[in-house]
A and B are shown apart, each in its own frame.
Chain A
C-alpha cells in the first residue's frame, strides 16, 4: 500500500510509532498528485515547498513527544477558504491572482494541530454549482469515470480524496456542496450543523446556510477532523457557544433500537429502480443492525429547491456586491472619461462567469421593490415550514435517511446548458441546509460501476449521533473499500 492511500487513523498509528515520517507521507501525496492530477484536474494550486516545510515541522513536534490527531497529516482545501500567503481564487477570474492575507479560522486551527496543507482544490465559481463545470479555469474529472463530473461545488476536494491525493480535504456546503460530490466520488462528506464550525475566512455565499466540513475516506476520519475544526470563534458571531461533543467516543456504539425515518417523498416515481434498490438494501442493513425503519411523509420536501434558489441568490447578490475590482480582484482597463458606474459594470461584467451573473440577477430581482414579498418573504416563510417539518420529524425519530443524490455522476456537458436541471441536483440536500441540520453522505453502493451515497440527517448539533449511525453502516458494508482505478 502506498502511504497516500492511508486513512487518518492508520497514518496516526504509523506516525506515532515513528514507522513513517510526516515528510514521507507528504512526499507520497505530492508524488501521487504530480502523477495523476493531469488526468483529474482537482487542484488549482499545489504548495509543494510549503507542504514539505510544514511536514518537517510536524516531524520535529512528533520527535519531541507531542501527540495530536492531525499532527503531520496532509490535506487539501477548497479554494474558497482563505489560506494566508497562498492564492485563493474561488475558481473565479475575479480573484484569479488573489493571495489571501489571513487564514480562515479552520486553517488556523489545522495549522496549530500540525496538519500539512498540500494545496487548493477546484470548485464551481464561488461555489455556485453542482459539477465544477462552472469553474472559470477547468472542469474536474470524476476518478471513477473521467468523462463524468465529480459533483460540486466541492468537486475538486471530493475527487482528490477519492484519488488518494491527500488523507482528507475540506469542502464547504451551502445546499449540498459537500454531500453531493461525496456521493458521486464514493467518499464520506460531512456537513456540520449551521454554526458548529466557524465561517471566518470562508468566502461568503449564503451566509445563513454556509458551513465548512470534512471530506474523508472513512466516517471515523470525519469525526477526527470535526473535533479539530469545530467550536466557537471570536471572528464569527454565528458560531454556537454550545460545547463540542467528543465525536469519536460513541462512534462504534451499536444502533440497536435506533429510530430511522424514511421520507416517502424521496422515493417517488422520478427515482430510478436502481437507486430505489440500493436504498432498500441499505435499509435492510440498518434493520439487521437493530434499527427500526419507519416510512414518514415530509410534504414540504419538494419546495426545498425553489426556496433555496430564492434565498441563496438573494444572499449572493448582497455578498458578491463587494467585488468591484477597485482595491483587489479583476479590473478592466479604464478608459478616459469613464464614470464610476461604467467601471463597476465592466469589472463585474467581465470578471464574473455565467452562473454567478445569473444568481446575482435572480437575487437582485427577488429583493427588488415590488417583488420582495412575492419571492424573498414567501421563500423565507416556506423555509420556516420546511424547518419545522424536519425538526418535528427529528423529535420523533433519531435520524432521517434519503439518497444523497437522485442519480449517480452525470457526463460532463450533459446538464450545464440548463441551469434549472442543475438546480434539481439539490433536491434531497437543500432541506437540511435550509434548516441548518447536520448531515453526512456515506458510500452506499454502485450503479453501473458509478458510486452513490446515502444521506443521514440528524437534529441540530447531533453531529455525534449522525456520525455513529454512519459509522455503523460503514462497518457493516464494504462500499467504501473499492478504489477508483486511476
Chain B
C-alpha cells in the first residue's frame, strides 16, 4: 500500500483509497505476469544498437508566425485570457 501511494504521487494522480487498493492489486497481478521476462537471457544484447538506422535531424530554432487561425483556436482552449495571455490559477504565494 505504501508503494502504490508512492507511485501515485510520482505519477501526479490524486486517487481515492478505493482506487489505490484496486489499482494496487491489479498492478501487482500485471507485474507478476511481466516477471517472466527475468527468464530470458539478455546478457548478449547490446541495447545501444537499438537506435538502428535512426539519425539526428536538425532544424533551426526559429519562431514562425502562426496566422492561419490556429493560434486563435489554441488560445480559446484555455479557461481564462487576460491581455492576450493565458491566465492560470495562482500557484505561488
To the question of whether A and B form a pair in one complex, the answer is yes
Given the complex of chains A and B, what is the CA–CA distance between A344 and B8 in angstroms? 12
Q: Which of B31, B40, B89 contacts A343 (CB 8 A)?
A: B89
Write out, one digit per residue, whether chain B residues 61-90 have a CB within 8 A of any chain A CB (1) or not (0): 000000001110110111100000010110
Asked if B57 and A340 make an inter-chain contact with CB atoms under 8 angstroms apart, the answer reads no
Measured between beta carbons, the chain B residues less than 8 angstroms from A380 are 47, 50
Complex-state Cα separation, A102 to B79, whole angstroms: 19
Query: Cβ of B50 and Cβ of A420 under 8 Å apart?
Result: no
A113: CB under 8 A from chain B? no
Quick one: given A331-B79, A361-B23, are A101 and B70 in contact (CB under 8 Å)? yes
Q: Indicate whether B91 reaches chain A with its CB closer than 8 angstroms.
A: yes
| A residues near B47, Cβ cutoff 8 Å | 377, 380-381, 384
| Cβ B13 vs Cβ A101 within 8 A | no
Q: Return the contact of B30 from the options A99, A234, A350, A420 (Cβ within 8 A).
A: A420
Query: Whose C-beta in chain A lies nearest to the C-beta of B16?
Result: A349
- Which B residues touch A68, using CB under 8 A? none
Complex Cα distance, B92 from A324, in Å, reads: 17
Q: Does A107 contact B (CB under 8 A)?
A: no
Mark contacts of A384-409 with chain B using CB atoms, 8 A cut-off: 1 yes-contact digit, 0 otherwise: 11010000000000000000000000
User: Which chain A positions have C-beta within 8 A of B50?
Assistant: 380, 383-384, 387
- The range of chain B's interface size is 35 or more
A296 to B61, CA, bound (A): 50
Cα-based distance from A100 to B73 in the complex (angstroms): 7
Chain A positions 70 through 114: 1 when the CB is less than 8 Å from some CB of chain B, otherwise 0: 000000000000001100000000000011111000000000000
Contact B73 A385 (CB under 8 A): no
Contact for A348 among B14, B19, B71, B77, CB less than 8 A: B14
- Known A237-B57, A334-B89, A378-B42; judge A101-B77 contact (CB<8 A): yes
Report the minimal beta-carbon distance from B80 to chain A, rounded to whole angstroms.
Answer: 10
A44 within 8 A of B: no
CB within 8 Å of B: which of A409-432? 419-420, 423
Chain A proximity of B71: nearest CB distance (Å): 7
CA distance A345 to B57 in the complex (A): 36
Chain B residues with CB below 8 A from A346, complex form = 14
Min CB gap A47→B, angstroms: 15
A339–B91 CB distance below 8 A: yes
B88 touches A327 (CB 8 A): yes
Chain A residue with minimal CB distance to B86? A327
- A interface majority secondary structure: helix
Contact between chains at B26 and A85 (CB < 8 Å): no
User: Is A263 in the interface zone, CB < 8 Å from B?
Assistant: no
Q: Is the CB of B73 within 8 A of A84?
A: yes
Known: A300-B40, A377-B47, A384-B47. A343 touches B10 (CB 8 A): no
Bound: A3/B56 CA distance, A:
47
* CA–CA, A299 and B1, complex, Å: 36
Partner of A306, one of B12, B37, B54, B69: B37
Q: How far is the CB of A239 from chain B (nearest CB, A)?
A: 9
Knowing A98-B77, A326-B88, A328-B78 are in contact, say whether A375-B34 is a contact too (CB < 8 A): yes
Chain A contacts of B57 at CB under 8 A?
237
CB distance from A396 to the nearest CB of B (A): 20
- CB distance A419 to B36 under 8 Å? no
**Interchain CA distance A327-B47 in the complex, whole Å:** 38
Tell me the smallest distance from the CB of A100 to a CB of chain B, in Å.
Answer: 7
CB of B23 within 8 A of CB of A348, answer no
Q: How far is the CA of A101 from the CA of B69 in the complex (A)?
A: 8
Kindly identify which residue among B19, B27, B38 contacts A378, using a CB–CB cutoff of 8 Å: B38
- Chain A nearest CB from B74 CB (Å) reads 4
In chain A, positions 8-29 with a C-beta closer than 8 Å to chain B are none
Q: List B contacts of A85 (CB < 8 A).
A: 69, 73
Contacts A84-B73, A327-B77 hold; do A381 and B45 have CB atoms under 8 A apart? Answer: yes
Please tell me if the beta carbons of B15 and A306 are within 8 angstroms of each other in the complex. no
A-B contact pairs, 23 of them (CB 8 A): A98-B77, A101-B71, A102-B70, A237-B57, A303-B36, A303-B40, A306-B33, A310-B34, A326-B89, A340-B91, A350-B14, A352-B13, A354-B19, A354-B23, A358-B27, A358-B30, A360-B13, A362-B27, A379-B34, A381-B47, A384-B42, A387-B50, A420-B30
For the complex of A and B, 4 pairs with smallest distance between CB atoms: A349-B14, A345-B14, A237-B57, A328-B77
Give B contacts to A, CB under 8 Å.
Answer: 4, 7-8, 10-15, 19, 23, 26-27, 29-31, 33-34, 36-38, 40, 42, 45-47, 49-50, 54, 57, 59, 69-71, 73-74, 76-79, 86, 88-89, 91-92
Other A-B contacts than A303-B40, A339-B91, A348-B12, 15 sampled, CB-CB below 8 A, are A84-B70, A101-B70, A234-B59, A327-B77, A348-B11, A361-B27, A362-B31, A379-B37, A382-B37, A382-B42, A383-B50, A384-B50, A385-B40, A420-B30, A420-B33
